[in-house]
Amino acid sequence: MTVNVASAGTSDPAGALSDAALLELSCRRPERFGEIYDRYIGEIHAYLGRRLDRQAADDLAAEVFLTAFRKRETFDARRGEVRAWLYGIATNLIALHRRAETRRLAALQRSAKAQQGPEHGHEDHVVTRVDAASAAQGRLAAELRALPDGDRDVLLLSALGELSHEEVAKALDIPYGTVGSRLSRVRKKLRAALGGVNPLNGGTDG
């Protein structure tokens, strides 16, 4: 599946309609929903792929936008932006595939262990660095796998989707303060498990 990441902003320099206005317009002119699809298919597909796998992302990305199209008349701009709404739909679909996500994390953990091997001659320092990275990946996968579903969703929406605190709150329909407390708790746990380093420090704290 080939996707192109279009502008993710709520408007562009050419004066295109905002996401919310475009979604409202699509209720009268369904063909305009394709513009919402074009704006966000790339990043939604990437988010699904990093949480599950390419095959699942291909299937679920289409389902995200089909669900959004069917529910477009129920969207309430007062409750958040369209982007966060789409990520919320994507995360709800991931919830129906928790076993797939758990299997992916377990596979990453096993793969990291398998990549670690003995050191050889002048390549010792290179192998050591690769082994250290593999070990960190394995520990990270194990920690993510052990997180409660809600904590994992908050963390990965922030780290992979690069959503702000407010966007995460809107996507998951939880209080803003809950997002901050969960992220703080999870990041502390990850830093402790990974020797003071948190590789999932993406996202914004807006």
List the CATH number of the domain containing 155. 1.10.10
Please, which residues have CB within 8 angstroms of residue 17's CB and are 6 or more apart in sequence?
A: 11, 25, 35
pLDDT in tens, 72-92: 999 998 888 999 999 999 999
Average pLDDT, the chain: 79
Asked if residue 110 is part of any domain, the answer here is no
- Asked if 77 contacts 106 with a C-beta cutoff of 8 angstroms, the reply is no
- Among candidate residues 96, 120, 138, the one where a domain is terminated: 96
173 or 96, higher pLDDT: 173
Largest CA distance in the chain: 69
Burial class from Cβ neighbours inside 10 Å (0-12, 13-18, 19+) for residue 133 reads middle
- The DSSP secondary-structure symbol of 173 reads T
Q: What is the pLDDT of residue 10?
A: 39
DSSP SS3 for 201: coil
* Counted domains in the chain: 2
Tens-digit pLDDT profile for residues 11-62: 344 457 999 999 999 999 999 999 999 999 999 999 999 888 888 899 899 9
The reply to whether 1 falls in a domain is: no
Lowest mean pLDDT across 78-82, 154-158, 161-165? 78-82
CATH of the domain at 58: 1.10.1740.10
Evaluate whether 48 touches 101 at the Cβ level (below 8 Å): no
Pick the closest to residue 176 from 142, 201, 205 (CA basis). Answer: 205
Q: Is residue 8 part of a domain?
A: no
Structural domain harbouring 28: 17-96
Rounded to 5 degrees, what are φ and ψ at 139? -65, -40
pLDDT over threshold 60, residue 206: no
